[in-house]
Structure 1
Amino acid sequence: MQNRKLTYIALVIIHILLAGILFTIPVVSKLYSILIVVAGIAVVVKSSNRNNEVLYVAAYLIGSEVFLRMTGGNFLNEFTKYSVLLFMVLGMFYSGFSKNSMPYWFYLVLLISGIVVSSTTLNLETDIRKAIAFNISGPVCLGVSAIYCYRRKVTLKQLNNIIMACALPILSTAVYLFLYTPSIKEVVIGTASNFETSGGFGPNQVATILGLGIFLFFVQIILNSSSRKINIINGLILGLVAYRAIVTFSRGGVITGIAMIILLLGVLYFFSNGKGKFKVGIIVTFSVIAALGIWTYSSLQTRGLIEKRYSNEDAMGRAKESQLSGREELFETEIQMFLDHPLLGIGVGKNKEYRMQLTGIEAASHSEMTRMLAEHGSLGMLALLILLFTPLVLYLDNQQHIYLLSFFIFWLLTINHAAMRIAAPAFIYALSLLKVTAVEETTLHRE
Structure 2
Amino acid sequence: MTETKYISQIIFHIILGLMMYYLSIFPSLYFYAVIGYFFFQVIAAPKNEKVLKVLMACCYIVGAEVIFRMTGAGLFYESSKYFIILFLLIGMFYSGLSNKAYPYFLVLIFLIPSIVIASIDLRFDGNLRKNVAFVLSGPVCLGISALYCYNKKLTLKQVQTILLYVGLPIVTLTTYLFLYTPSIKDIVTGTESNFATSGGFGPNQVSTVLGLGMFVFCSQFFLNSKNIGLKILNVAIFSLIAFRGIVTFSRGGVLTAILMIAAFLIMVYIKSKTKQKSNIIVYFISLIVIGTVIWTISSSQTSGLIDKRYSGKDKLGREKEDISAGRLDIFLSELEGFIDNPFLGVGANGMKEIRLITQGDVVASHNEMSRLLSEHGILGIIILLILIFKPLDMYAKNSYNIFFYAFLVFWFATINHSAMRIAAPGFIYGLALLNVTYDKRPIHRKRLASPR
Range of TM-score over shorter length: over 0.9
Give the drift of 1:273.
Answer: 2.7
Which residue is 2:213 aligned to?
213
- Which deviates the most, 27-36 or 146-155? 27-36
Separation in structure 2 between the aligned mates of residue 258 and residue 202 of structure 1, nearest angstrom? 21
Which residue is 1:249 aligned to?
249
Q: Are positions 1:101 and 2:93 aligned together? A: no
Give the drift of 1:41.
Answer: 1.0
1:379-412: CA deviation from partner (whole Å, max 9, x where unpaired): 0110111001111111112211000000000000
Which residue is 1:445 aligned to?
none
Q: Are positions 1:73 and 2:73 aligned together? A: yes
Give the drift of 1:126.
Answer: 2.9
Other structure's SS at 1:185 match: coil
Separation in structure 1 between the aligned mates of residue 175 and residue 181 of structure 2, nearest angstrom? 10
In structure 2, do the counterparts of structure 1 residues 397 and 269 end up closer, same or farther at CA, with 3 Å as the change threshold?
A: same
Which residue is 1:91 aligned to?
91
**Cα contact 1:367–1:417 (8 A) shared by 2:** yes
Separation in structure 1 between the aligned mates of residue 124 and residue 301 of structure 2, nearest angstrom? 49
Other structure's SS at 1:279 match: helix
Which residue is 1:433 aligned to?
433
In structure 2, do the counterparts of structure 1 residues 179 and 394 end up closer, same or farther at CA, with 3 Å as the change threshold?
A: same
**Cα contact 1:26–1:72 (8 A) shared by 2:** no
Q: Specify which of 36, 39, 43 is matched with residue 37 of structure 2.
A: 39
Identity over aligned residues, as a percent?
46
In structure 2, do the counterparts of structure 1 residues 231 and 440 end up closer, same or farther at CA, with 3 Å as the change threshold?
A: farther
Q: Specify which of 21, 24, 28 is matched with residue 23 of structure 1.
A: 21
**Cα contact 1:333–1:358 (8 A) shared by 2:** no
Which residue is 2:362 aligned to?
362
Letter of the 1:199 partner, please give it: G
Which residue is 1:379 aligned to?
379
Give the drift of 1:254.
Answer: 0.1
Give the drift of 1:228.
Answer: 2.2
Q: Are positions 1:11 and 2:9 aligned together? A: yes
Separation in structure 2 between the aligned mates of residue 338 and residue 299 of structure 1, nearest angstrom? 41
**Cα contact 1:20–1:176 (8 A) shared by 2:** yes
Other structure's SS at 1:433 match: coil
Separation in structure 1 between the aligned mates of residue 35 and residue 273 of structure 2, nearest angstrom? 43
Give the drift of 1:97.
Answer: 1.0
Separation in structure 1 between the aligned mates of residue 322 and residue 360 of structure 2, nearest angstrom? 18
Which residue is 1:314 aligned to?
314
**Cα contact 1:59–1:165 (8 A) shared by 2:** yes
- Which deviates the most, 73-82 or 351-360? 351-360
Give the drift of 1:230.
Answer: 1.8
Which residue is 1:444 aligned to?
none
Letter of the 1:186 partner, please give it: D
In structure 2, do the counterparts of structure 1 residues 16 and 397 end up closer, same or farther at CA, with 3 Å as the change threshold?
A: same
Q: Are positions 1:390 and 2:415 aligned together? A: no
- Structure 1 unaligned regions, length at least 5: 442-447
**Cα contact 1:197–1:248 (8 A) shared by 2:** yes
**Cα contact 2:17–2:176 (8 A) shared by 1:** yes
How many residue pairs were aligned? Answer: 439
**Cα contact 1:27–1:73 (8 A) shared by 2:** no
**Cα contact 2:239–2:294 (8 A) shared by 1:** yes
Other structure's SS at 1:436 match: strand
Which residue is 2:110 aligned to?
110
Give the drift of 1:323.
Answer: 1.8
Separation in structure 1 between the aligned mates of residue 209 and residue 344 of structure 2, nearest angstrom? 33
**Cα contact 1:118–1:347 (8 A) shared by 2:** yes
Give the drift of 1:437.
Answer: 1.4
Which residue is 1:268 aligned to?
268
Which residue is 1:188 aligned to?
188
Which residue is 1:177 aligned to?
177
Letter of the 2:149 partner, please give it: C
Letter of the 1:366 partner, please give it: H
Separation in structure 1 between the aligned mates of residue 91 and residue 187 of structure 2, nearest angstrom? 45
**Cα contact 1:174–1:241 (8 A) shared by 2:** yes
Separation in structure 2 between the aligned mates of residue 415 and residue 189 of structure 1, nearest angstrom? 29
Separation in structure 2 between the aligned mates of residue 197 and residue 117 of structure 1, nearest angstrom? 40
Which residue is 1:418 aligned to?
418
Q: Are positions 1:294 and 2:294 aligned together? A: yes
Letter of the 1:206 partner, please give it: V
Separation in structure 2 between the aligned mates of residue 190 and residue 363 of structure 1, nearest angstrom? 22
**Cα contact 2:124–2:353 (8 A) shared by 1:** no
Which residue is 1:149 aligned to?
149
In structure 2, do the counterparts of structure 1 residues 440 and 313 end up closer, same or farther at CA, with 3 Å as the change threshold?
A: farther
Letter of the 1:378 partner, please give it: I
Separation in structure 1 between the aligned mates of residue 70 and residue 146 of structure 2, nearest angstrom? 28
Separation in structure 2 between the aligned mates of residue 277 and residue 125 of structure 1, nearest angstrom? 58
1:116-162: CA deviation from partner (whole Å, max 9, x where unpaired): 11111111633211110000000001001100000110000100000
Which residue is 2:280 aligned to?
280
**Cα contact 1:170–1:210 (8 A) shared by 2:** yes
Give the drift of 1:231.
Answer: 1.8
**Cα contact 1:49–1:91 (8 A) shared by 2:** no
Separation in structure 1 between the aligned mates of residue 407 and residue 209 of structure 2, nearest angstrom? 13
Give the drift of 1:34.
Answer: 1.0
TM-score (structure 1 length as normaliser)? 0.96
**Cα contact 1:400–1:439 (8 A) shared by 2:** no
Separation in structure 2 between the aligned mates of residue 77 and residue 48 of structure 1, nearest angstrom? 33
Separation in structure 2 between the aligned mates of residue 300 and residue 124 of structure 1, nearest angstrom? 45
TM-score (structure 2 length as normaliser)? 0.95
Give the drift of 1:48.
Answer: 4.8
Separation in structure 2 between the aligned mates of residue 42 and residue 36 of structure 1, nearest angstrom? 10
Which residue is 1:131 aligned to?
131
Separation in structure 2 between the aligned mates of residue 122 and residue 186 of structure 1, nearest angstrom? 45
1:227-282: CA deviation from partner (whole Å, max 9, x where unpaired): 32122111100000000000000000000000000011111122223222212211
**Cα contact 2:64–2:169 (8 A) shared by 1:** yes
User: Greater CA radius of gyration, 1 or 2?
Assistant: 2
Other structure's SS at 1:154 match: strand
Separation in structure 2 between the aligned mates of residue 270 and residue 175 of structure 1, nearest angstrom? 35
Separation in structure 1 between the aligned mates of residue 185 and residue 272 of structure 2, nearest angstrom? 44
Separation in structure 2 between the aligned mates of residue 272 and residue 125 of structure 1, nearest angstrom? 56
